[in-house]
Structure 1
Amino acid sequence: MIRKIEKADYPRMKEIWTSAVEHTHDFLKREDFEYYQAQLPFYFEQVTLWGFEEEGVLVGFIGTAGDSLEMLFIHNDCRGKGVGRKLVTYGIANLQVSKVDVNEQNAQAVGFYKHMGFRTTGRSECDGQGKAYPILHMSL
């Protein structure tokens, strides 16, 4: 089930983010992981959030701003089970999502977005925080 996220979900979302990033972002320096983790409440406030529940437990979420998918995180225990596909499909169909930025070094995510129909339209050497993590800009 996909539902709107509430502030009460933030602790669970932090768990999901941590689980996802620890298993997919092996290129992140530890201090950068800790920096981004500490920024999560701020980041959550900057986007519209939707979550996917399985048996009443939040297991993944997306954050959108305008037509951009700003975040997609799935708890590692639920990766590969279609949760990300369902959330992105929901974003495209209901939230007019047509763009996403993705860490170039996260090959699984790049492949996933390509499979979902996104194509690379540009590249930046640094992420939105100015850190040296190349970003691919993708659009439908």
Structure 2
Amino acid sequence: MSAAPVILLRESREPEDFEELTNVWRDSVEATHHFLSLEAIDRLEPRIRDEYLPRLRIQVAERNGSILGFIGMKNRQVSMLFVADEVRSTGVGSKLLEWAQQQFPRLVLDVNEQNPRAAVFYIKRGFTPVGRSETDAHGLPHPLLHMSWDGAAR
């Protein structure tokens, strides 16, 4: 029996990766963010590619040259963590989050309350809810849970 192909982490190659990262983002959002309409996702997609990704430090998970997921950091804030639907629950997200936890002794993030699997994912990895907002960063009625992780307290 052969070993499963290894998942490699690397820094994003900007901007060459942005189209594939955006495709992973869209695949993940369509599978997990059922509270967003396809029209809302369509409106967000060019902003993700052209505005949000260029502002972040991005670590990519890939296997055999294909991007499986990515984490986008702004200092110690996890701004994005998205995994292609076909590899969800296979350890890709955990590997990316572990990378971030090795970079920073403390992390913060916001997670959509309407995506409960994501909130559970973070709680299982040591994050604690520390607050809540009724709206997202754009003022839309998508409640956010504010979470933090303190590696020094572990």
TM-score normalised to the size of structure 1? 0.95
- Which residue pairs with 1:3 in the alignment? 10
Change (3 A) 1:97 1:90: farther
- Which residue pairs with 2:34 in the alignment? 26
- Which residue pairs with 1:72 in the alignment? 81
Contact 1:69 1:97 in 2 (8 A): no
The alpha-carbon deviation at position 15 of structure 1 amounts to 1.1
Greater mean deviation of Cα atoms: 28-37 or 79-88: 28-37
What is the aligned length? Answer: 140
CA distance in 1, matches of 2:68, 2:83: 6
- Which residue pairs with 1:109 in the alignment? 118
Q: Which amino acid aligns with 2:21?
A: M
TM-score normalised to the size of structure 2? 0.87
**In the alignment, does 2:94 pair up with 1:85?**
yes
CA distance in 1, matches of 2:62, 2:108: 24
Contact 1:104 1:135 in 2 (8 A): yes
Contact 1:122 1:138 in 2 (8 A): yes
Q: Percent identity?
A: 34
The alpha-carbon deviation at position 12 of structure 1 amounts to 0.7
Contact 1:91 1:97 in 2 (8 A): no
Residue ranges of structure 2 left out of the alignment (5+ in a row): 1-7, 150-154
